[in-house]
A and B are shown apart, each in its own frame.
Chain A
Amino acid sequence: MKSIIKRKIFLTLVVFLIWLMLAGLEAYIILIGILCSILIVFIFGDINIQNEWTFKKPLRYLWFIPYAFLFTYEVIKANLDVAYRILMPNLPIRPGIVKIKTNLKSDAALTILANSITLTPGTLSVDVDKDNGYIYVHWIYVRSVEIEETTKKISAKFEKILEKIFN
């Protein structure tokens, strides 16, 4: 019990410091900051982390750096692709829903993968089947229906890096 209170006080201090970095140094702003940080920690302070062991290997988070570069490149490519399809007079689209396979298990990894799929070339994740490891993807220009082909084209490059982070 005591450790929970200690953790909450510590969290309040951290949140309040972030507030001070962003806001100015006037009396009423500081007062609002104290109230807000107490309220935020009171509501969200006891959300637990699922896999504690993941904190013992902090180096794997370095893989987020190449991931960010790959992701930015893919997002810009996706925008050019979709902008081209919007602006052509005859709308060159072949929409459809396809299925891809994934080996990732944890919630965080699946969330990041589905978000990345949504933000990259003409694909939008519709549903996740967590037990069998399938993601249903709406594709604006379907190039093939076979599950191996779609997996290779849509998610393979993200999954390689995400596996190193989360497994």
Chain B
Amino acid sequence: MNELISFIIISIGILADIIGCIGLVRFPDVYTRLQASTKCVTLGTCGIFFGVFFYYGFTSIGIKALLVMIFIFLTSPVSSHALARAAYKSNIKLSEKSICDEYKKEKK
């Protein structure tokens, strides 16, 4: 039973990862691509690790999987934030679909 549930969780994680990668190709500019990669890939990878934790329980492998999950949740948004800020500072434009840019008004 545990095996079945953990396989289902791992499958959901892989599915989320695949959707994130499709988004990486389909979206028009850097910022929207970062959105796809942070959200779907973070939850997908964490889902895979949660499935591993579910399979092994509180053994040393399971606890390591939990720790990796926590570190991914802490570091992945920081890295995408740094990438977005660096892209903006080096004058990479938003896509033509964009509605507004409040940041531009402040930083003259």
Interface centre among B39, B76, B102 (most CB of A within 10 A): B39
CB–CB A79/B38 < 8 A? no
CB–CB B100/A114 < 8 A? no
Q: Which of A62-119 touch B at CB < 8 Å?
A: 75-76, 78-79, 82-83, 85-87, 91, 93-99, 111, 114-115, 118-119
List chain B residues, Cβ under 8 A from A78: 39
Contact with B along A149-163 (1 / 0, CB 8 A): 000000000000000
Cβ-neighbour of A145 out of B74, B100, B104 (below 8 A): B100
Cα–Cα distance between A118 and B20 once the two chains are bound (Å): 15
List 25 A–B pairs whose Cβ atoms lie within 8 Å, in order of A's numbering. A21-B63, A76-B43, A78-B39, A79-B40, A79-B43, A82-B23, A82-B36, A83-B23, A86-B20, A86-B22, A87-B19, A94-B99, A95-B98, A97-B98, A99-B103, A114-B81, A118-B80, A119-B38, A119-B39, A124-B31, A124-B80, A126-B88, A138-B84, A145-B99, A145-B100
Q: What distance in Å separates the Cβ of A119 from its nearest Cβ neighbour in chain B?
A: 6
Q: What distance in Å separates the Cβ of B77 from its nearest Cβ neighbour in chain A?
A: 4
Q: How many A-B residue pairs have CB under 8 A?
A: 121
The answer to whether A22 and B60 touch (CB under 8 A), given A79-B16, A86-B26, A127-B88, is yes
CB–CB B100/A142 < 8 A? yes
B interface residues with partner A (beta carbon < 8 Å):
16, 19-20, 22-23, 26-29, 31-32, 34-36, 38-40, 42-43, 60, 63-64, 73-74, 76-78, 80-81, 84-85, 88, 94-95, 97-104, 106
Cβ-neighbour of B103 out of A21, A87, A126 (below 8 A): A126
Q: What distance in Å separates the Cβ of A139 from its nearest Cβ neighbour in chain B?
A: 9
Cβ-neighbour of B74 out of A97, A115, A142 (below 8 A): A115
Cβ-neighbour of B31 out of A86, A129, A138 (below 8 A): A138
List chain A residues, Cβ under 8 A from B42: 75, 119
- Closest residue on chain B to residue A111 by CB atoms: B78
CB–CB A95/B60 < 8 A? no
List chain A residues, Cβ under 8 A from B81: 114, 118, 124-126
CB–CB A114/B102 < 8 A? no
List chain B residues, Cβ under 8 A from A138: 31, 35, 84
CB–CB A96/B100 < 8 A? yes
List chain B residues, Cβ under 8 A from A93: 27, 32, 97
